[in-house]
Amino acid sequence: MCLRIADSNLPISASKVHKAVRAAWKLWSSVALMKFRKRSRKEADIVISFHNGDHEDGSPFDGKGGILAHAFLPGSGIGGDVHFDAEEDWSFNSTGFNLFAVAAHEFGHAIGLSHSSDPGAIMYPAYNFASNYEPQLSFRDVKDIQHLYGISPGFASLFSKNPPPRTPDKCDPDLSFDAVTELQQEVLFFKDRFMWRKHPQFEETGITLISSLWADIIPPFLDAVYENRERNVNVFFKGHQYWMLKRQKLEEGFPRNISDLGFPSRIKSIDAALHFRNDHYTVFFTGHECWKYVLCYNLPQFFPYYQTHLI
């Protein structure tokens, strides 16, 4: 497949655009039987360009936010072409939209894929990546593209150590959770980059990315989470750090070290946490130990008080 980048109207440096495009096509060509070649002038199967607003293909862009890009399924003429909204705040990492991640999604369209209902897939229709997210194809994306083009010769050896991540399935009999918490009316079940949200008014317990709600706030692969409803906070643990969210907003100064809660430095992480609403205390499990954490309200500052016992 031939590919050309139109070099007019680029919102960021040409070298950054080329880097993002190269990284995006490598994702696909490393799993499926296809080769990309860059062309500078003549006809190309995939022409990549940036546009503002109406650019006369019947699908005008909408300024900042909303639609980020679109692509045409393979075919003659405009078929296979990829258009990015030039008015977005594009970047390669850090702030704004990650051009690499969106290009990977658009290339999926350009080579024949539609949107996926799997929230872990790069072909999922919503952009919800953390800014430090390193885009990669999910198991679903890989299956879908290999179904169309066949498997790349290097696939087995390239991915044997590090297979594409699967989105967990709530019906999997071997499923385990990283953490479970209440969040106002809902119950949240965490697993890897994902969470299921059980709402009393909804039949279906839907799965989403943690980053769809808390991108750049709460990391994936959590250890423990609890809710303290009197104080309206949720507390998230991962490794030696913890994050406190009040009404879904990160409290100032977080993440902090769990030693700030009063744990001795030999405690490196928490396995589970549970808050007892009626008796106003929290219990932490770590290794074979169980810690009870009580806040004494009659003191001017919160004062942690511990009891340890083996369970």
Q: Cβ 127 to Zn ion, closest distance in Å?
A: 9
**Smallest distance from Zn ion to CB 104, Å:** 11
Given a contact cutoff of 8 angstroms between Cβ atoms, the answer to whether 31 and 145 are in contact is: yes
Distance CA 62, CA 262 (A): 51
List residues binding ligand 01S (CB under 6 A). 67-71, 101-102, 105-106, 109, 125-127
Least separation in angstroms between CB 86 and ligand 01S: 13
The active-site residue, picked from 43, 56, 88, 106, is 106
Mask for 67-106, x = binds Zn ion (CB under 5 A): ----------------x-----------------------
Using CB under 5 A, count the residues that bind Zn ion. Answer: 2
Least distance in Å: CB of 115 to ligand 01S? 6
Enter the tokens of residue 151: 């498997």
Measured at the CA of 90, the angle between CA 220 and CA 105, to 5 degrees, comes to 60
> Using CB distances below 5 to 8 A depending on partner kind, what does residue 62 bind out of Zn ion, Ca ion, ligand 01S, none?
Ca ion
Q: How far is the CB of 52 from Ca ion (least distance, A)?
A: 10
Binding site for Ca ion (CB under 5 A): 62, 66-67, 85
Q: Judged by CB, which is closer to Ca ion: 17, or 270?
A: 17
Q: Choose between 54 and 134: whose C-beta lies nearer to Ca ion.
A: 54
Instruction: Supply the DSSP string of 180-219, one letter for each residue.
Output: EEEETTEEEEEETTEEEEE-TT-SS-EEEEHHHHHTTTS-
Task: Please spell the DSSP secondary structure of 11-38, one letter per residue.
Answer: SS-HHHHHHHHHHHHHHHHTTBS---EE
Nearer to Ca ion, 66 or 200 (CB): 66
Tokens 């071997």: give the residue. Answer: 174
| 278, 265 Cβ separation under 8 angstroms | no
The residue sitting closest to Zn ion, measured at its beta carbon, is 83
Task: Clarify whether 251 is annotated catalytic.
Answer: no
CB nearer to Zn ion: give 114 or 248: 114
Q: Which residue has the tokens 């989403």?
A: 208
Instruction: Say if residue 119 is preceded by a cis peptide, omega within 30 of 0.
Output: no
Which of the residues are catalytic? 106
